[in-house]
Amino acid sequence: MDYQVHTLANGIRLIFKHAPFAVTHCCFLLNGGSRDETPGKDGLAHFIEHLVFKETGRRSTTQILNRLELVGADLNAYTTKEYTCIHASFLQEHLERSIDLFEDILFHSTFPQEELEKERGVIQDEIASYLDQPEEAIQDDFEGMLFKGHALGNNILGTAESVDGLTAEDIRAFIKANYATDEMVFGVFGNYDFKKIVKLAEKYFAAVPANYAKKQRQAPMTNASAYIVQHKPITQTHCIIGTQAYSSAHPHKYGLLLANNLLGGMGMSSRLNLEIREKYGIAYTIESNYTSLTDTGIFSIYFGTDTEKAARAAKLVHRELKKLRDARLGTLQLHQAKQKFIGQIALAEESRMSLIISMAKSLLDFGYADTLEEVFDKVNAVTANQVLEICNEVFDNNRLMTLVFEPK
């Protein structure tokens, strides 16, 4: 085990990974995201993420923003369908300064009405800007199609109408219902003695009142095949083909991660990129993605191209999927796919912030974090027969949904 864990009496957990670097990366992960919003409150989790930087009982917005920026640190946050994350990177000597700020904004934000109104306008502008980017908007619309009638299908940003109706009471109710202290993880990646980390965590987080609220998350229904075309004021055609996939705990997760990387993952040598961009020059961007969630997952292939080339691009995508369904990977193909994926995983560990967030998320979901060697072992354990089985299940034409944005 290359990390250490400590649990406070209120349930908040600390995960620490030592590294002899001058820069520290830390994160605070909360198990509450857009899927936990009640009907009509779309965008609430993301709204809270914005507002925790605005005002606390002892700091103004300016004081919050200056607390780390004045020492050259970087402070930011993001919201997903299942989590909210606050994170910071800073020089080693500013650890306590950062933990103090984390505790203040996470547990003492006051959500004044004036700040609510200002941030409401900011988010509504963010929504409008996002909708102007078809390559982004199509992903949200596709997930809305994939999880129709379920909170997972809602846009993380919400809508202009839903954000307009959010109140401070909504915020406090969401926090009480979803920010359980035993579903919070504070992660630190830096050059410290673990005892110091524990001492600071106890000093700043031990007094946080315990909250053991339990979520009532419902798994989505399995999607059926569909083909939908929407006309938009755009110049190119954009397309997503995909389906629901395996959850983060599913035994086939690593097999699908491997198949996805081979098909359309990182790098120029993916099958989709070689076939559709390099061989035929049809699409500038073509990629596949697999995101695992706690009780389901999302697999999708995206491309954008000129309208007259879209049908051919889609046909070539389906041809590549059929190849994976019909033919088992050879020994050399499987070995090369694993070597490529393992190398990319190793390089990704160089992004130290991403690594500590990934470790915190793993601790939150499973109670442990895999070492790099354990991840490699799971990738290497995938067999050609498993990949074939996975591709026939996930890439089944009877399950695939297609969403197309066409120019008006």
pTM over 0.85: yes
Going from the N-terminus, what domains does the chain have, and what CATH number goes with each?
4-205 (3.30.830.10), 226-407 (3.30.830.10)
Tell me the H-state helices in 113-167. Answer: 113-131, 134-146, 160-164
pLDDT digits (tens, 9 = 90+) for 198-212: 999 999 999 999 999
- Residue 152 DSSP class: G
Per the prediction, the chain carries an average pLDDT of: 96
What residues pair up with 229 in beta bridges, in sequence order?
Answer: 404
pLDDT digits (tens, 9 = 90+) for 80-113: 999 999 999 999 999 999 999 999 999 999 999 9
C-beta separation of 292 from 246 below 8 A: yes
Q: Which residues contact 380 (CB under 8 A, 6 or more apart)?
A: 338, 342
- The closest alpha carbon to 357, from 1, 29, 18, 12, belongs to 29
Q: Which residues contact 52 (CB under 8 A, 6 or more apart)?
A: 77, 86, 105, 106, 109
Q: Supply the pLDDT for residue 284.
A: 87
Residue 80 CA from chain centroid, whole number: 5
Q: Supply the pLDDT for residue 1.
A: 61
3-class SS of residue 26: strand
Q: Supply the pLDDT for residue 158.
A: 96
Report whether pLDDT(130) > 90: no
| Cα–Cα distance list, 148 to 34, 79, 160, 223, 253 (Å) | 15, 21, 19, 9, 23
CA distance 45 to 78: 10
Q: Supply the pLDDT for residue 354.
A: 94
CA distance 85 to 32: 9
**What's the helix, strand, coil split of the chain in %, to 5?**
50, 20, 30
